[in-house]
Every structure is written in structure tokens, then in C-alpha cells.
Chains A and B, each alone.
Chain A
């Protein structure tokens, strides 16, 4: 197969809105290099979560400005918090459209970051009912050594209503890689990275790797296997 059908991001999001549910395809994996548009796509997916409880784990040592809201609505992408308390969202004191979005950020103290993230994942594992956004899941699973906690939370997808958006710049050491029912492969650099993207899509062969290698920034190959799937689709996303 050397050809892919194409669709706009809005059309793809319509499809995601249909299949994204704990009982359907609960987890999204977004793979692409820095600058591929991962955070932009995460924000687009969060547009489907206006009334959902959302926890964004941003492990970077310093707050990522990409999550800063516009002037006058600093909490548009979640309230920055240093720890997650039980039944978070019950008071609707978070950010986002309904006050249910929270953003746990990292600090230069990696040990403390790992501890706080582990506690947050334990809360999610105990309570379920959350859209978990792991921005740079490899950093969380490998550097912070939280692969087991991430796996445990993702395992609760169907039974406890945990949905996830995982973004990764590499596929190695990525917990939940095999659990992502929806895969988004974006712009990468170099053949090994393209090969890894093809493998995420279940593709083999040089021709298909070349397809992955030719994906431009803010374009995605979207793949899922739910009922009515169109197979892998080239999604053209406009720059924000």
C-alpha cells in the first residue's frame, strides 16, 4: 500500500469523538519529533474533553509555555498544581472549560517530581474517571522510573474509565505503547525514527517507512481499528 486517504484534522477529530471512550478506544499515542505538533494535537484532542476531568502531567523541569493560556484566561489549559489531591475536580477548582482540568508540573528536583507524579498516578489508579495526558511519556516512564505506575493506570481504561493521551518523541521505553488503540504518527527525522513510526502503525517494509518519513510537521498518520475504521489516514492539521 503506497497510498493513504487524507482527511482534515476536524474530520479526524469527528472520528475520534465517535470512538474515544473507555469501552472503545481509550488511549491515544502521539509520536513525533520535537516541533512535529504534538502539543497542538493534544490541545485539539482536549477540545473533545470540555466536560471531562483532565490531568496533564508535564514532567519538564520548568513549566512549558505551550500550556500557558491566553491573556485573561491563564487556566485555559488546566490549573498548574504541585500535587493532586483525592477527588480532585470535586470542587471544580481547576482550569479548562468546566474547572475540571489540572496540570501537574515538574521541577528541577527530579526525585521530588517523581514522587509527586507517582502519587498523582496512584490517585488516578484509585479513582479512575480521568483523561490522563502524559506529555513526553518517555521522560515519565524512563527518567522518572514510573513505567509501572503508568501501566497500572492505563490498565484501568475500560474498567475504571481512564483515558489517556500519550505523547512521545521516541517509542523505546514508552509504557502504554501496546495499549494505544489510536495512534498518531507525525513528523520525524531519520530513517530509524520513521521505521519506529511505521512499527507503531503495524507496518513493515521500506515503502511504508518512507511514507512515515515524508510526513510533514503538523501532519499525522492516524490509525485506529475500531468498527468502521478507514485504516491509516493522512491527517492534515493547520498551524495554530
Chain B
């Protein structure tokens, strides 16, 4: 193959150009592209050029027929909003894309209320919260934690052997739904469903009806599946009085206190008093805590039910916080 500079006409536009290759046909890329497109849009006989069969054809508007866009739909124009003009009170009109406002009577452009809202003073001012990737990640972690807790409690219930045979597939279905849940709301729904007698999760024996699942809460305290003898006795006592109701459709379902991973309610001042074996008593003056005797020390804090001193405040606070 020989090569060398030579002047020749472009096969597309006809202009004479100096080629550096002996097989050059076009004066430049634009002509080469144009000629290529033209050749593809006019070739119709597949047998004349097998390459045409393998080459995608870009059909022009003339050959492709009308677009389904046709007939032309009216473009978006400015539209009326419910936002009042700060000057005249008339409804503002939004720009076609909706980013700005205008008042027809006042003939002025107006800042959309939502644009200035984030800078409005006062607690009632609307604030837009942008969910960041970190927020989404934390929410996903929390969801995974809640699902893990619920699944562990469902597994524990299934392994306890105390469920009615018909309840086992229900439990398996619930576990599957928990695994597939994509939101905390769904977990709440499943927790409520599990506690619903209609769901059919019931124990094998009636006296086991008090079995409680606190799915979604910390299992470390042994709350779930805590079928101790005391529970048994209590339930048996309860059942003794229900013998005349033997025709009931069945024992109540075990109470599934599935709170979908939410933390247990914090201890209150009253709970802390009970935990310490104290109580409040009326006193003319001073701390009202009875801890074997009336405290009577100088009070520092009012809690629901009465006043307490600094010493008891610290002790109760330690009980509440677990320290």
C-alpha cells in the first residue's frame, strides 16, 4: 500500500483537500459522520451490502413517521398557587418550573414563602430537614437492631416447645416478614399483629397463656420466655376461676409485647421510690421520704407526690440511671 499527500475532492461536500492517506475519502470528521449517517438512512436493500444488516440504522424523522409526542402538547406555563401576595393578598402565580413567584396585580416577582421560611424566627417557623446519608445509615442500623431483637425473641418462643402446633407456621411467617421489613412502622405492625389473638399464636396449654414475649426489647434481663414456676402458679389460679368458660373458642394468645426494638420505658421517680422500699408521707416541713422514719431534711426538689432532700434526690437519681 502506497501513501502520500495528494489533493482530492471530498466525497461528501466536494471540497478539494490534501489527504495524508491514499484511501482518504472525506475532508474531515464532520463529512465522514454526515456521509455515514446519510448512507445508513437511505440504504434499504439488505442484499446489496451485508454490512448494512449489522449496522444500527438511525432513521430520520421523514422515515420514522410522527413521534408519539405529536400533536404538540402545550408547554407548562405559569400557574396559580395558594400562596398569598405579601403586598395585596392575591394568590401568587408560579413560574413554569415552579421555582419563583409573581404577583399579577402588583406586577412584581416575589420570593416563594418556602424559600424564606428556613430563616423565619420563632419556634413555629417551618424548617426543612434534609436527610443525610448518615441519617439514613443510622436509621438502617436501628432497623437492623430491632429486627435482630424481634427475630431472637420469635426464635426463642418457637424453641420453647410451648406453642400450639398451629401457631408454629404463623411464627415462621412472622419471622419472614420481620426479616423482609424495610421500616420501623412495619415492625410495629407485625408486633401488634403478633399480639392479636386472631393471628393464632397461642400456647399449647391454657395455663401457659401468660407467656410474654417482649420481642424488640433487651433479652439480657431474661424477660422473654421467662416461664418460671411463679408464673405457672399464678396462671393456674386464674384459670381455676374460669372453668365455667370451658366452651370458649380457646385460650387467649400469649401476650406478645413486641415493641419493635424500642427501649423500655425509663424508670420514674415513683418507681425509684418503690425500688428502694421508700414512700412519701405528708410532713409539715422538710423531706417527705419515709425510709424507716421521716427524713425531714431540707428539701431541694419537688417530685410528683412531694418534696425530697438532696440526699434522697441523689439516691433516687442513681436508681433511675442504674448507677
Contacts and interface: CB of A to CB of B under 8 A. Distances in A.
Interface string B33-54: 1101100000000000000000
Using C-beta atoms within 8 Å of the partner chain, give the interface range for chain A: 35 or more
Interface residues on B, range: 35 or more
A31 to B, nearest CB: 18
B118 A18 contact: no
A214 B73 CA distance: 30
Which applies to chain B's interface (DSSP): helix, strand, loop or mixed?
A: loop
Interface of B: 30, 33-34, 36-37, 55-61, 64-65, 67-69, 72-76, 78, 95-100, 102, 109, 111-112, 114-116, 118-119, 128, 130-133
A5 B97 contact: no
B75 A14 contact: yes
A148 interface: yes
B100 A100 contact: yes
B95 A52 contact: yes
Nearest to B41: A6
Contacts of A6: 58-61, 64
A178 to B, nearest CB: 14
A33 interface: no
A7 B58 contact: no
A197 interface: no
Contacts of B64: 3-6
A210 B57 CA distance: 10
Given A7-B69, A87-B115, A160-B128, A52 B56 contact: no
A18 B95 contact: no
B56 A131 contact: no
A126 B73 contact: no
A68 interface: no
Interface in A223-238: 228-231, 233-234
Given A100-B100, A129-B114, A2 B56 contact: yes
B111 to A, nearest CB: 5
A49 B78 CA distance: 11
A155 interface: yes
Contacts of B73: 18, 228
Interface in A126-157: 126-131, 148, 151-152, 155-156
Nearest to A86: B119
Given A5-B65, A51-B78, A52-B99, A151 B133 contact: yes
B58 to A, nearest CB: 6
B116 A87 contact: yes
Interface string A204-230: 000110110010100000000000111
Given A51-B95, A53-B99, A3 B58 contact: yes
Question: Chain A interface secondary structure, helix, strand, loop or mixed?
Answer: loop
Nearest to A127: B115
Nearest to A234: B58
A56 B116 CA distance: 20
Contact of A128 (B30, B36, B56, B115): B115
Given A11-B69, A131-B99, A156-B130, A20 B76 contact: yes
A125 B118 CA distance: 10
B109 A148 contact: no
Nearest to A212: B56
Nearest to A227: B73
A7 B61 contact: yes
A43 interface: no
A85 to B, nearest CB: 11
Interface string A181-220: 0000000000000000000000000011011001010000
Nearest to A23: B98
Contact of A211 (B56, B98, B111): B56
- Most A CB contacts (10 A, CB to CB) among B56, B76, B102, B114 go to B56
Contacts of B95: 51-52
